[in-house]
Amino acid sequence: MTTKAINDAMLAEVKELGENSAEFVIRPLYYGYGNTLGNSLRRVLLSSIKGAAITSFSIEGTTHEFTAIPGIREDVVDIMLNLKTIRLKSHSDTPVEATLVIKGSDQHEKDGDKRVTASDIKLPADVELGNPNQVICHIDDPNYTLKMNFVIETGRGYLTIDESSKDRIHSDMIALDAVFTPVLRVRYKVENTRVGRDTNLQQLTLTIDTDGTITPKDAFEEAAAILVNQYQALAGSTKVENAPVPGCDTEEDNIGLLLPIEELGLSARTANALTNNGIKNLSQLIGLTDAQLKDLKGFGTKALEEVQEKITEFRK
């Protein structure tokens, strides 16, 4: 069975907002599909991206979590909370182990105690650390030596402490509930946009923040792939033919939208202003409203008039 595609949306723009934050603009979308796509991507990003976490640990001299440790400022419960915030990336599909051995110091640090951080953990070669400055505990006895062992596992979503206790590879270790997802926050915004004469369209802007163990782009692509795989399993033998981009009446129009900005015959100043703002082809250009064009850096009134004339020529 073959049918026409409802839409042919495209990733129009990717904007880096910070080291671990990025904004993804998807357009054009038929009315109502902005929320449909945004909500599904957000849910998958927050629940299903692969990550790693500490699932159990041991401290020499302790047998359970309700213990105070002579020589350590924090109790075991406080240490557990700190361990759950350590961000890791493991390239192994099986559980791996790590150790930490550190002695107190006669030369106290600014807060008066020896600070133990995630960077003090001796990790295997196939595990990377995302936040080395995360504090684990403080040693307040210069003669005390802290010895810890950890089990690091990969997974998706959330692992309860009951599941972690049941599956731990060392029964004498203290189990942790684990948050595997490397995506910290996802926000999306749906706005109206147009393509040529078609104004009843939407633009989806998705903002992704990660913990540094995965880039926002990789997380975005993994989430999209997960959704594709899920829907392919439901589609059966049905095949979908790509329809023209909304606002394009013919296949020639659809192909023409792929023309690079440099080939549109615009003045060098206008073309440079567009490419410097990440507008690389005619499809991205047509998807912008006049207000959005005016907001582009280095884009003036003359450039706007030139672009409007060029779009009019394309539509004739």
The whole-number pLDDT of residue 252 equals 45
Domain count across the chain? 3
Structural domain of residue 187, as residue ranges?
A: 1-49+183-244
Give the pLDDT confidence of 170-204 residue by residue, as tens digits: 778 899 988 899 999 999 999 988 776 677 888 99
133 in the same domain as 174: yes
CATH number of residue 131's parent domain: 2.170.120.12
Query: What integer is the mean pLDDT of 53-67?
Result: 87
Asked whether residue 3 carries a pLDDT value surpassing 70, the answer given is no
Q: Are 86 and 52 in contact (CB under 8 A)?
A: no
175 in the same domain as 78: yes
CATH number of residue 314's parent domain: 1.10.150.20
Query: What integer is the mean pLDDT of 259-264?
Result: 78
Asked whether residue 7 carries a pLDDT value surpassing 90, the answer given is no
CATH number of residue 34's parent domain: 3.30.1360.10
172 in the same domain as 85: yes
Query: What integer is the mean pLDDT of 144-171?
Result: 84
The whole-number pLDDT of residue 38 equals 94
**pLDDT > 90 in the chain, percent:** 43
Residue 253 within any structural domain of the chain: no
Q: Looking at the chain, how many residues does it have?
A: 316
Asked whether residue 223 carries a pLDDT value surpassing 70, the answer given is yes
Asked whether residue 307 carries a pLDDT value surpassing 90, the answer given is no
Looking at 16-30, 166-180, 239-253, which range is the least confident one?
239-253
10-18: strand order across its sheet: 10-18, 21-30, 198-210, 183-195
60 in the same domain as 164: yes
Characterise 284 by phi-psi region: left (phi > 0), alpha (psi -120 to 50), beta (else): alpha
Rounded to whole angstroms, how far apart are CA atoms 29 and 191?
A: 10
The whole-number pLDDT of residue 284 equals 75
Q: Are 69 and 76 in contact (CB under 8 A)?
A: yes
202 in the same domain as 277: no
CA within 13 Å, CB half, 264: 33
174 in the same domain as 56: yes
Looking at 103-107, 134-138, 231-235, 281-285, which range is the least confident one?
103-107
- 273 band by pLDDT with thresholds 50, 70 and 90: confident
The whole-number pLDDT of residue 77 equals 92
67 in the same domain as 162: yes
187 in the same domain as 44: yes
Rounded to whole angstroms, how far apart are CA atoms 139 and 185?
A: 33
Give the pLDDT confidence of 101-118 residue by residue, as tens digits: 998 875 545 556 889 999
Mean pLDDT of the chain: 83
